[in-house]
Every structure is written in structure tokens, then in C-alpha cells.
């Protein structure tokens, strides 16, 4: 089977040669340069259509041909819809024939409720940092209980290494990890192991280096909306029709031509669009229409916690789920005691965690760092637990720290083990960050291979940013922060798979395997019978939390945890307790407990029949 996404942009192979199209409304003349900087270089004049489009057909072009666009006889630029730029975004684009890859399975995906996500950065997941090297770990992840791989952004960016969030060629996978067919082979290998593959895409901005669009298509940006990166991507101003089409096709391209099982849309709270439907609704509608025969899942990062964007799987205009920063922030405060920065909003972490576990989110409204935004407020509406993606760690929460520490380096192991159980045995979709399953302590730092003035600006920006945090101020002042633009910083972040076989790390893997086995055996069959809101959650003593999730079959799973360093007495647990589950069966326990109480950082999970009238009988209290 072969899959090709047909689009009006870029290079398209035809029966006789290649058709090239570029939207350059500000250009007065456009030429196609074939085989640039080679002996056989030649140029062809492109024809305008009067609406900003320029096109040309090259009879002798073929797959693997290199090309550039020449604007007004003075500037040569890559194709913004290039399928591959093997020398980076400042070099020539290359014609790709998607039909050269043969897909050998009829994989249709997995239902959303089965999702357990494993986020990874291809360049640091293995020493080699390639798709081919990453394949070697797929079997172990599938055996552990992971059901979905989520790749950090792949859109091409300048330099040898980076997180990927400053991509400038959205259709071209970054060449350091391998070519287009290497990525397809990786996705096909995931499918053979029963793993879905999601891709993180960035539609809120282009990176600061290698983006030439403003030189010939300034309509790609709308100065009426200003963002942290300058004028916003133009989704609602004059000329926005082509810009919207560009990004809708990008989403469809990854899903159709590469057979990704879903997309995660980065920082959608930073997308400015006053149109109706807005670009996110339009993308969702297009995906549901075009990919309806497959299970394709759409996810958001949205600091506004806008529940109106979420819906049941496959809903046109809506998204399956959203990354739940509130869940992370509450547990991080409870485990580490940190209260600075955005953690200051989580001043009632136990109560706010309870709200996350039964209603989805703790906060709603624009994030606090948005200039002029109204104060955030407590969330007022519940969402289905499956509309949230919960995590203890991810690329941001580790990498935005000055020294890239993982949670195990900030809290004792007993508390992290309890947090892992809360994550994996709650109904929300869980996500692990690469290495978390074996208790990795490898840092994940911010790294970007910027050059020239941009390199110095990023270095100075990081120093200033962390000088405002008391715990980093001295290191920033002494110049001891890791250099984000150093290759050594990048190399330090590569996972140490050798350490994964040490006894202590095998114990972490065993813990995660046991928890995921309980999840698959007892939660998954019941998740479709769990409603949004109306579940029971109450505070127990100073540090305890009791949550009961009731299902349509009359059964309930009850979690009782002690999120503190002091024991929780049986008397505190029994005071104000709801009617007990009938015929309870212990599913899992963490830490110690005696005489009905719970030791420090301990918890237990039971399955039993819910007594009549127990739903909503209590709420999280302060």
C-alpha cells in the first residue's frame, strides 16, 4: 500500500516530471532553480496566476531532485512546503516520492480509552538519536504496557540539535533523525508492536532562524495580533485563506502520508484567531472528514483549560483530550514543596488535586504569564477524565528547569512511587516521559544549536530568566548554568540505557509494569462507563485524600492515599468516611499501613460494589 497526501503547495510528481507551486503574493518575479550550486544548475521562470500563486512544470525533474525558489532575482529560498531539506532549512529542498515507501499493514489504530502515552525526543532517546535506533526499544515499551509513542516536533529547524519547537519547514522532517522513509519505517514498526504514534505539531509560531516567508508572503503574519514571537500567524486577516489551508494540509499530510495516529497541538492558547470556525475547529473538522475510517486522535496543550474544545473521540471540531498541567503542578507542589513561579497558583494542592481527579482541571482562564489577562479562577465545569492527559514529568516540566532535574532528584523515592500509582491508576489518560519508566536520572535540559547573535541572545535570556528564581540566582550570577547552545548540553541529555539494567532501575520498571497491568485489567474495561463529574473526593486529615470513581456497572474503584511525610491514623480516615465499598478487593498498595492507617507516602486502591447513593456524597474539602 502507498499513501500520498495531495496538496496545492510544493513539489508534486506527475507522469512527466514535477509540478512546483509557491504562494508568493509580494514577489514581482519567481524562478525555480533546479540542482542549485551544481554544474547542471538551471532556472525556469514560474508563471503567476494573479492571486499570489506561481507555478512551473519541470519535465526533467524527478524524485531526489534538489531545488530552490529565487525571489525577484535576488534571494534564493527553500520551499516552505518542502517534504525534505537534507541540509537544513537554509539549503535546497529535495523532491520526495511518497510512493517509494510500501506500507505492509492495514493498521487502523486503537480506541482512545486504551491510550498510555510515552513522550520522547528522537535525538536524545538513544545514543545514535535516530528513528532506526529508537526501534530497538519498542518491544520493551509495548511489553511494559505503553500503547502510544508521542514524538516531540519533527519540523525542520536550523542546526544539529534542538527541541523542535522552533521549526520553520512544517512538512520536512528534521534530517538529523533520518529521512522520510526512515520515519515511515519507525511508524510501521510501532504499529507492528501495537503502538500508536502521535506527533507534536507547532502552529502558533515559526522559529526565529530559517523562516523566509515574510520576504515574499508577508500575508502569512498578522500584526494585529502580537505574540511572544512577534506578529501572529495570520489565521483571520487578509490573505488568511491560503495560510489556513497551509496548516490544515500540514495536519492531514502527517496523518495520511505518514500514517500517524494523532497529533498534539502545542500551546494553542498562543494561537490568535477571531474567525469562525477558528483554525483549530477547522483542522479538527477536516481530520474527522478525511480520516474517518481510522482511529485518529487529536490532543491539545492549552493553558486556558477551555473545556469547550474537548469532546468524545472523533467529534468534528473538537479534540479528544488536553495535557493537564494542573495535575502535574498539584503533585509537584505536594512532593517537592516548591511554590515559586506558576506553582504559586497551587496554594491548596490537595484540594486542587482532588478537583483534577474527579472534574478534570483545577484552574481555568488565561495563564498568569499572559500580559493583561484576568486572574485565573477555579474550574467551574467538569470534563470526562478521558479528556485529560495526566503526567508527572514531560519535556517542559523537566527541561524548563535550569538544571533539567527529573522528579526523582527533587523528591524521595517513596513519594515518587506513590505519585506514579496515582498517575497510572486514575481514569485520566497517563503519560510518561522517556526514561521515567526505569527511574532515569539523566537530565533533560533546554538545548538549541543557534549560531551568531541569536546564540548569545538565548544564552543571556536564560541567565536573566533564572536569576529571578532564588534557587538558581547564584548559579546564574556565577555563570554556572548549562549552556543551551553547547553540544555537550545536548549530549548530556541522551538516555543512559546501560543504567536501565541496574537493580534499582529494574525495580522502577517493575513498578510501572505492575501498575499498568492493573490499569489494563481493571480500569480499561470500565472507562466507557464513567461519567464526567459527580464522583466522590474528600480530604482526609492533614495529608490524606480519598477518591471514589463509580462506573455504570455499579462497581467503583477507590483510592486512599497519604501525600505527606507523617502517618495518617485510622481515626482520621474513618472520620466522615462514606459508606464502605461492598466486597472490596485490593488492587494495589504502595508504602506501609497498619491498623487501618497509612504510613508516609502510602496508598491503597480497592475495587468493589459502590453502595447506593454514594456518588457525589462528598466533595474535596479544605
Instruction: Answer yes or no: are the C-beta atoms of 570 and 597 closer than 8 Å.
Output: yes
Of the candidates 11, 467, 402, 451, which has an alpha carbon nearest to the alpha carbon of residue 207?
451
Active-site pick, 301, 303, 326, 351: 301
Torsion sign (Cα): 310, 311, 313, 316: negative
CB 546 within 8 A of CB 556: no
The dihedral region occupied by 134, where left means phi > 0, alpha psi between -120 and 50, and beta the remainder, is alpha
Residue 403 has what DSSP assignment?
A: T
Cα–Cα distance measured from residue 565 to residue 567, given in angstroms and rounded to the nearest whole number? 7
Look at residues 401, 360, 394 and name the one whose alpha carbon lies nearest to residue 379.
Answer: 360
Cα separation of 184 and 177, whole Å?
12
H helix runs in 268-365, sequence order: 279-290, 325-336, 349-359
Question: What angle, rounded to 10 degrees, do the helices at 325-336 and 413-424 form?
Answer: 160
Q: Reply yes or no on whether 301 is catalytic.
A: yes
Q: Which residue in this structure is represented by grid cell 486556558?
A: 304
Lookup result for grid cell 494573479: 50
The single residue of 135, 266, 273, 396 carrying the catalytic annotation is 266
Burial class (CB in 10 A: 0-12, 13-18, 19+), 470: exposed
The alpha carbon dihedral of 291, 110, 100, 38 has a sign of positive
Residue 8's Cβ-count burial label (10 Å; 0-12, 13-18, 19+) is middle
Q: Which residues are catalytic?
A: 266, 301
Amino acid at each position: 500500500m502507498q499513501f500520498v497526501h495531495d496538496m496545492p503547495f510544493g513539489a508534486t510528481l506527475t507522469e512527466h516530471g514535477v509540478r512546483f507551486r509557491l504562494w508568493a503574493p509580494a514577489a514581482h518575479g519567481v524562478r525555480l532553480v533546479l540542482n542549485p550550486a551544481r554544474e547542471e544548475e538551471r532556472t525556469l521562470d514560474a508563471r503567476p496566476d494573479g492571486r499570489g500563486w506561481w507555478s512551473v512544470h519541470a519535465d526533467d525533474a524527478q524524485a531526489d531532485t534538489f531545488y530552490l525558489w529565487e525571489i525577484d532575482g535576488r534571494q534564493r529560498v527553500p520551499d516552505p512546503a518542502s517534504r525534505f531539506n537534507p541540509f537544513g532549512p537554509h539549503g535546497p529542498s529535495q523532491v520526495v516520492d511518497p510512493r517509494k515507501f510500501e506500507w505492509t499493514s492495514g493498521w487502523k489504530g486503537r480506541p482512545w480509552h486504551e491510550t498510555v502515552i510515552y513522550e520522547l525526543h528522537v535525538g536524545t532517546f538513544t545514543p545514535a538519536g535516530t528513528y532506526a535506533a529508537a526501534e530497538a526499544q519498542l518491544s520493551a515499551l509495548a511489553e511494559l504496557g505503553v500503547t502510544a509513542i508521542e514524538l516531540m516536533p519533527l519540523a525542520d529547524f536550523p542546526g544539529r540539535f534542538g527541541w523542535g519547537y522552533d521549526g520553520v519547514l512544517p512538512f520536512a522532517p528534521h534530517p538529523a533523525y533520518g529521512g522520510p522513509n526512515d520515519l515511515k519505517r519507525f511508524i510501521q514498526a510501532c504499529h507492528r508492536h501495537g503502538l500508536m504514534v502521535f506527533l507534536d505539531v507547532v502552529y502558533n509560531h515559526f522559529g526565529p532562524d530559517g523562516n523566509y516567508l515574510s520576504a515574499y508572503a508577508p500575508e502569512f503574519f498578522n500584526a494585529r495580533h502580537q505574540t511572544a514571537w512577534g506578529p501572529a500567524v495570520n489565521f483571520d486577516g487578509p490573505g488568511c485563506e491560503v495560510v489556513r489551508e497551509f496548516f490544515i494540509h500540514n495536519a492531514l499530510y502527517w496523518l495520511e502520508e505518514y500514517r500517524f495516529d494523532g497529533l498534539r497541538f502545542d500551546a494553542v492558547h498562543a494561537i490568535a484567531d477571531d474567525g469562525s470556525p477558528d483554525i483549530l475547529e477547522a483542522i479538527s473538522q477536516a481530520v474527522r472528514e478525511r480520516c474517518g475510517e481510522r482511529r485518529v486522535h487529536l490532543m491539545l496543550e492549552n493553558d486556558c483549560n477551555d473545556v469547550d474544545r474537548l469532546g468524545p473521540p472523533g467529534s468534528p471540531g473538537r479534540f479528544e483530550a488536553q495535557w493537564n498541567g494542573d495535575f502535574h503542578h498539584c503533585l509537584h507542589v505536594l512532593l517537592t514543596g516548591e511554590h515559586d513561579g506558576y506553582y504559586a497558583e497551587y496554594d491548596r494542592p490537595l484540594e486542587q488535586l482532588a478537583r483534577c481527579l474527579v472534574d478534570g482541571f483545577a484552574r481555568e482562564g488565561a495563564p498568569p504569564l499572559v500580559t493583561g489577562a484576568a486572574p485565573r479562577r477555579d474550574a467551574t465545569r467538569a470534563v470526562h477524565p478521558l479528556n485529560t492527559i495526566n503526567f508527572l514529568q514531560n519535556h517542559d516540566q523537566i527541561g524548563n528547569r535550569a538544571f533539567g532535574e527529573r522528579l526523582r532528584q527533587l523528591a524521595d523515592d517513596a513519594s515518587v512511587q506513590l505519585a506514579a500509582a496515582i498517575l497510572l491508576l486514575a481514569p485520566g489518560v497517563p503519560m510518561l516521559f522517556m526514561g521515567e519508566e526505569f527511574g532515569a536520572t539523566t537530565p533533560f535540559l533546554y538545548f538549541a544549536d543557534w549560531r551568531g547573535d541569536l546564540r548569545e541572545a538565548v544564552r543571556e535570556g536564560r541567565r536573566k530568566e533564572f536569576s529571578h528564581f532564588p534557587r538558581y540566582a547564584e548559579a546564574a550570577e556565577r555563570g554556572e548554568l548549562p549552556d543551551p547552545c553547547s553540544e555537550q548540553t545536548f549530549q548530556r541529555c541522551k538516555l543512559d540505557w546501560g543504567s536501565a539494567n541496574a537493580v534499582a532501575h529494574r525495580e522502577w520498571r517493575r513498578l510501572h509494569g505492575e501498575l499498568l497491568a492493573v490499569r489494563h485489567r481493571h480500569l480499561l474495561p470500565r472507562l466507557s462507563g464513567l461519567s464526567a463529574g459527580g464522583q466522590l473526593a474528600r480530604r482526609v486529615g492533614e495529608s490524606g485524600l480519598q477518591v471514589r470513581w463509580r462506573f455504570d456497572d455499579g462497581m467503583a474503584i477507590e483510592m486512599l492515599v497519604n501525600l505527606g511525610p507523617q502517618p495518617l491514623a485510622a481515626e482520621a480516615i474513618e472520620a466522615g468516611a462514606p459508606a464502605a465499598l461492598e466486597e472490596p478487593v485490593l488492587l494495589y498498595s504502595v508504602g506501609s499501613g497498619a491498623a487501618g492507617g497509612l504510613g508516609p507516602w502510602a496508598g491503597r486502591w480497592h475495587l468493589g460494589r459502590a453502595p447506593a447513593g454514594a456518588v457525589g456524597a462528598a466533595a474535596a474539602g479544605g
